[in-house]
Amino acid sequence: MIQQFEITLPNLGRGFHLITHLIKNKLNNLPEKGLVNIFLTHTSAALALNENADPSVRNDFESMMNKVIPENIHLYSHTLEGEDDMPAHIKSSIFGQSLTIPVTNHKLNLGIWQGIYLCEFRNGGERRNIVITIYS
């Protein structure tokens, strides 16, 4: 059986945001075993699975990504949507737009220190849409 629905996240602003609780709050009646696919329908943000306890990890991700893929350099030709747009597309492609997480005993089978991140790469950010597909 397959279930599918969409959710809209609030505007969380630029940065790496732990959204595990927002996803879990929408997952009612998970199967005993299965998979949950979480797909972000945007090209300037991404999803990631990483450290859920220490917020400095999310700050370090932001700092390092800005160092590796900076704004305001003259290499980009796609600049009409702002200085943060092309770097956001590159960062998004590196991280990706989907996660697939196993379901065990009616719960997401995440590691003890794993959390789901929304990686927002635009300066202003925006409301982001996610498609959740549950396979049982």
Q: Could you read off the pLDDT of 7-56 as tens digits, one per residue?
A: 999 999 999 999 999 999 999 899 999 999 999 999 999 999 999 999 99
The pLDDT of residue 122 is 96
Mean pLDDT of 102-111: 98
Integer Cα distance of 105 and 82 in angstroms: 46
Q: Which residues of 99-113 are buried (b: 16+ CB within 10 A; e: fewer)?
A: bebebeeeebebeee
pTM for the full predicted model: 0.95
CATH 3.40.50.620 matches 2-135? no
Query: Residue 80: pLDDT above 90?
Result: no
The pLDDT of residue 111 is 96
C-alpha dihedral, 23 to 38 to 47 to 121, nearest 10°: -90
Distances in Å between the alpha carbon of 50 and those of 5, 57, 95? 24, 9, 12
The pLDDT of residue 125 is 82
The pLDDT of residue 124 is 87
The pLDDT of residue 35 is 98
